[in-house]
A and B are shown apart, each in its own frame.
Chain A
Amino acid sequence: MLFNSLNFLVFFLLVYGLYLALPHRAQNILLLLASYFFYGCWDWRFLSLIAISTVIDYWAGRKISSTDGPKARKFYLLISLFSNLLILGFFKYFNFFVSNADALLHFVGFDASAWRLNIVLPVGISFYTFQTMSYTIDVYRRELNATKNFIDFATFVAFFPQLVAGPIERASKLLPQIAGARQVSWRAIQTGLWLIFWGLFKKVVIADNLAEMVDEVFGWHVQFNAGTVFLGLYAFAFQIYCDFSGYSDIARGLSRCMGIELMVNFNNPYFAPNVSNFWRRWHISLSTWLRDYLYIPLGGNQKGIGRTYANLILTMLLGGLWHGAAWTYVVWGGYHGVLLSINRLFASRREKKLVPLPEYGWGRVVRVIITFHLVLIGWLFFRAVSLDQAFDMLLSAIRSPVVDPDVVNKAIAMCILCMPLWLVQILQERKADLMAVFQLPVFARSLLYFTLFMMLLVFGNTGSHQFIYFQF
């Protein structure tokens, strides 16, 4: 059941109507049942994985909390981590490791291809396993008290607006909101509806229309040349952003309408003036998760320059692997790790020489454009079917500087579709407020709503494309 489907509209209206009518404890039971139904619509068999993860982490959390001995606490933490990583590793990475091991063993005359299994990847598995792992780790670190209420915990794990594609919420933020009584203010509903509307616009008008261009290029349906490669890349950059941030916006909007505040997952990432800043604006829930549970435990920047760079690269490599079991994701992660390291190197040199970079005006614009294009190269590896295709496209763009009329048509369409996005984001950046739309005068806001309504009505893609991040 996709957010951009009529089925979901009916589902949400029914759930929301009931939700508003019920008292707090009953609301949580309703949310849990609705979340399991929502997930079961994809494949009810995988509900068992969520249930297993929930039961183990609830039990581990309680045990860690009630035990004082450091060894016992670590033991229960390891049970939680091991079970989550086992589920994730088996469903997501088993075939990847087997096929790579097979390729290696092939050199010495062994055949391990029979080990490959026909495994279906459960939707959203990376999101909810990371979310539950953060709970037990926080309890272990004594940053959070283990919850005693199983329904609350199960609702935290399976909360349907963010179950399949995040944001990866922290228990310390979401659990108290589930456990405590909630107030739904008119202002929350108003801003929640805007987030839903804006997210739908990004998904249905921009992402799904650009998806057709992207699929054409990366599906080898066109001859690679500079025009098609750049069209594919620019289109993918906005497709993935609008697809994922659109989902996050809708998730936040739905939750806000129910009185639950989810974290901001995207903060205009393409306006970042450097790669480090980009990662503070892109998929914030994952990058902060990796920072808190991987980069800092590895030593962060506290163990010397060399170790800092190694930690950065290792964290980003694993971040890349989190997205999918393929070398393209590993290369993408590694590429960002290297960019972050270079950025850190230059930043520390500038600090020593006391040469600040321009934060406003054209200097900043140039830095934003350069950062965007560095990120764009990364997207090539992220989206390519294989590393061969990525390099083939790069070489074709250089060797064949041709632009077809079809590409010009599509580039114009892309600009028209993205125009409202750019205007709203410029406004958000200037006002440093993601809700800056509400600061607009009434006529300007009417024109904006009208444009968005109109584009949704006319250009909205009704093909019900899946969200890209569901596969992760």
Chain B
Amino acid sequence: MNPFRLLQSVYPHASVVLAVLLLIMANMIFSQPRIQNDFWPLIQSRLNPDNKDWFMRHVADIRRESCTLVHPVSLPAIAFVGSSQVRQGIDWNLMETLLPDYHIRNCAVPGMDMLRACFAEQLLLQPSDRVVVLWISELDVRPDASLGISWMRPFATWSGLRHSIHSLNTKQRARQWRNMVDLALASTFELWRSRDYLRHILFHSLSSGSTRSAVEQSFEGDWRKDVRTFDIEDMDALTAQMTALFLFVSTAKANGASIVVFEGRVNPSICTETSEKRRSWVRERLLAAALEYGFDYIPTAQQQVQIEPADWSDMTHFNVAGREKMTRYLAQFFNAWRGRTDGPVNTADQSVDFMKYMK
């Protein structure tokens, strides 16, 4: 007897069950490291050559690295986490030359804020990370606690989602229940997590396109919103951002890494009274948390580097000269740091009450 007919007679809805099983199987196959290793380069080859698809390119880099440890494991790694300010603020080749005893990991993704860093922690951080460097200006603690789907989906994991939800208050959670459902689905199904990229392949089956991808276009609204809401103080959102930062630090420390937080710099020409207020608000909380929580916080006043107005290429990013200055300073800092990291890593106090820093 035909086994499928037998199945049908035994269970009349066998076709639905079989389809769901096939779907689970397809998801499992797609999640395999071998398939993932082939998939992300496939994306990279289909991205716009003139850097219009910048976000997808960075995601593809990070996702690819997370499934293939391409660096020599024997070297301790320094992971630089932050937004485009970090990505474009460091000369990565120079940094590798100046710090030959470390593997330099560029984990900066444009548009990253603390909530997003906390969400993406599982894919950003690796066990080989000896030092995790954060670069936090008032722009990285945005007065916005939305779970941006286009940004977050490719980094979705259950622990990241749990931490992000934990950072939000009840009102913020209720407002974003749809995004949470989406991200929960992404944390469960690799096919959903990579869907924007699979769609990119669908629409660029033969070659990279001349137009911007849908994912990149979805950020346009984000940046506009950023500019628009720059001066709006939303304490609930700022609190969520800071809570997320502390959770991220906690995870990194649990992995055995030391944390160094540099106060990020912003072109003085865009500073306003509100942004200055927020800057000091962030600084005060980080100084207090650093002392008790055991991470290093380096405010701009203590950074031994002179950044001039001519070192900026735009409102938030360094130009070549500024980039070189900052890279040399960071390399010098970590060469001095080396002796300290050879000792035992401070992993104490994982149960810090984050909320006390928010008062």
Mark A residues whose CB is within 8 Å of B.
6-7, 212, 216, 404-406, 408-410, 412-413, 416-417, 441-443, 445-450, 453-454, 457-460, 462
Contacts and interface: CB of A to CB of B under 8 A. Distances in A.
23 contacts: A406-B210, A406-B211, A408-B206, A409-B203, A409-B206, A416-B202, A441-B8, A442-B7, A442-B15, A443-B18, A446-B14, A448-B19, A449-B15, A449-B16, A449-B19, A450-B18, A450-B22, A453-B20, A454-B26, A459-B195, A459-B202, A462-B149, A462-B182
B178 interface: yes
Contacts of B204: 409
Nearest to B209: A406
Contacts of B192: 457-458
Contact of A446 (B5, B22, B178): B22
State the 9 A-B residue pairs at the shortest beta-carbon distance, nearest first. Answer: A449-B19, A446-B18, A445-B15, A450-B19, A450-B22, A442-B8, A446-B15, A443-B4, A442-B4
Contacts of A405: 206-207
A441 B15 CA distance: 9
Contacts of B209: 406, 409
B185 to A, nearest CB: 9
Given A406-B210, A457-B192, A412 B18 contact: no
Contact of A413 (B8, B205, B207): B205
Contacts, number: 83
A412 B206 CA distance: 9
**Among A406, A446, A460, which residue has the most Cβ atoms of chain B within 10 A?**
A446
Interface residues of B, number: 33
A462 B206 CA distance: 24
B315 interface: no
Contacts of A443: 4, 15, 18
Contacts of A404: 210
Interface string B1-43: 0001101100000111011101100100000000000000000
A413 B202 contact: yes
**Among A7, A416, A417, A449, which residue has the most Cβ atoms of chain B within 10 A?**
A449
B288 interface: no
B102 interface: no
Interface string B179-191: 0011000000101
A416 B182 CA distance: 25
A463 to B, nearest CB: 9
A441 B5 contact: yes
Contact of B205 (A409, A457, A462): A409
Interface of B: 4-5, 7-8, 14-16, 18-20, 22-23, 26, 149, 178, 181-182, 189, 191-192, 195, 198-199, 202-207, 209-211, 214
A1 to B, nearest CB: 13
A297 to B, nearest CB: 48
A410 B213 CA distance: 12
A408 B209 CA distance: 10
Given A406-B211, A449-B16, A458 B181 contact: no
A406 B18 CA distance: 37
Nearest to A216: B211
A453 B15 CA distance: 12
Contacts of A457: 23, 189, 191-192, 195
A441 B4 contact: yes
A459 B198 CA distance: 8
A170 B290 CA distance: 72
Given A409-B205, A457-B23, A459-B199, A6 B8 contact: no
Contacts of B189: 457
A212 B200 CA distance: 13
Nearest to A222: B211
A420 to B, nearest CB: 13
B181 A412 contact: no
Nearest to A446: B18
A106 B143 CA distance: 53
B291 to A, nearest CB: 44
Given A453-B19, A458-B191, 17 more contacts: A406-B209, A408-B206, A409-B203, A417-B202, A441-B5, A441-B8, A442-B7, A446-B14, A449-B15, A449-B18, A450-B18, A453-B23, A454-B23, A454-B26, A458-B195, A459-B199, A462-B149
Contacts of A447: 19, 22
Contact of A442 (B5, B26, B182, B214): B5
Contacts of A462: 149, 182
A416 B192 CA distance: 19
A404 B209 CA distance: 10
Contacts of A212: 214
Nearest to B194: A458
Nearest to B185: A457
Contacts of B195: 457-460
Contacts of A454: 23, 26, 191
Contacts of B8: 441-442
A458 B211 CA distance: 21
B292 to A, nearest CB: 41
A449 B22 CA distance: 10
A6 B181 contact: yes
A224 B18 CA distance: 46
A458 B196 CA distance: 8
A404 B210 CA distance: 10
Nearest to B16: A449
B19 A412 contact: no
Contacts of B7: 442
A448 B192 CA distance: 19
B9 to A, nearest CB: 9
A405 B203 CA distance: 11
